Chains A and B, each alone.
Chain A
Amino acid sequence: MSDYLFIQSQDPFTEVRCAAQYQLARQLRDAGHRVHVLLVQNGVAPARLGARSEVFDALLGGGVTVSADGFSLKQREIEASDLKAEVTVGDVGDAVDALLAGSKVIWN
């Protein structure tokens, strides 16, 4: 089993490839790996309450843990209370922690 962290800068509303990126994360999880997705930049957009994205909601329901970079949220005036229940507030430092722990860190 491996640990994966995806830094997800792309969002499903403007990038069609985002669906495949989410799917890869889920497939890795289904294959028995630990997978975390850190949303950054516009990648935080689908995490907002009321944001309608079937592919993102499928990611949340697929056993992959998801957090959103607090800096990116603040830039967009999104509060923690505005996020979907499964999404926690994180930081890009979490990606560095993962690198230092030997995880496979992938930029999307």
Chain B
Amino acid sequence: MSDLKTLTFAFMDPPFESERTVTFFRLLDAALERGASVRVFAYEGAVALAFARQAPHGNAVHGRDAAEEDHPLTREWIRALQEKAAAKDLSFEWINCGLCVDERGVNDVIDGCGRGGPPDLWRYASDAFNTLTIGTR
């Protein structure tokens, strides 16, 4: 029987490249705001969203150091959503496609993000109340 408050999202865009990434994170935040638990299956470039070694940088052109630039990192957005879910007593699960991770060498991910494969997407989608797939054009 499906959990009436769990939504699954499948996403394949890498960090720092597409406006879709921002919209995707806004959707996740909106789901938590509405009291829904969230499950994410990240594949292709999206497996780098949780890469632990993402680093902020300054902007020499504008004369700003790293702190002033306050460069947004997707791993921090994921962490913020994990914390938000915990504060609301909701679950927030994240699985990266293992093959996609290996191809890109981004095995070092933040805590709370796991490794799996397409069967996990099938399980996520089967168990969820609803699923949204955000494909890259």
Residues of A within 8 A of B (CB): 7, 9-10, 15, 17, 40-42, 71, 91-93, 95-97, 99-100, 102-103, 105, 107
Contacts and interface: CB of A to CB of B under 8 A. Distances in A.
Contacts, number: 53
B137 A93 contact: no
B62 interface: no
A41 B24 CA distance: 11
A40 B23 contact: yes
A93 B31 CA distance: 7
Given A10-B137, A99-B7, A93 B132 contact: no
Contacts of A93: 30, 33-34
Contacts of A97: 34
Given A96-B27, A107-B135, 8 more contacts: A9-B20, A9-B23, A71-B26, A92-B23, A92-B27, A96-B30, A99-B130, A100-B129
Q: Identify the 10 closest CB pairs spanning chains A and B, nearest first.
A: A93-B30, A99-B130, A96-B30, A107-B134, A41-B19, A92-B26, A96-B31, A105-B132, A92-B27, A99-B7
> Interface centre among B5, B34, B130, B133, by most A CB within 10 Å?
B130
Interface residues of B, number: 19
A7 B36 CA distance: 19
A15 B136 CA distance: 13
